[in-house]
């Protein structure tokens, strides 16, 4: 499944530069390993036209006792 998501410029750049290999998101889309994120750069209330695709390789969820809020996930990306 593909998911189109907004991303702020500083995080978009870090993803493009391969410095950031994860996303912290509310799990409203029931993300799964193998899903594709289409990350669309969003600045000043508009899309810039820059986007990239990343594949989810791991989903961390249901670990509230380690500090991850209920309903949120950390997605490992490649």
Q: Tens of pLDDT along 35-77?
A: 999 999 999 999 999 999 999 999 999 999 999 999 999 999 9
pLDDT for res 67: 95
What is the band of 24 on the pLDDT scale with cuts at 50, 70, 90? very high
Residue 8 CA to residue 11 CA, distance in Å, equals 6
| pTM of the shown model | 0.92
pLDDT for res 59: 98
pLDDT for res 5: 98
């Amino acid at each position: 499944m593909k998911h189109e998501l907004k991303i702020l410029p500083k995080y978009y750049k870090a993803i493009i530069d391969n410095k950031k290999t994860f996303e912290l998101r509310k799990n409203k889309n029931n993300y799964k390993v193998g899903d594709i994120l289409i990350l669309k750069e969003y600045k000043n209330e508009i899309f810039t036209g820059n986007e990239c695709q990343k594949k989810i390789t791991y989903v961390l969820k249901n670990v509230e006792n380690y500090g991850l809020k209920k309903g949120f996930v950390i997605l490992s990306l490649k």
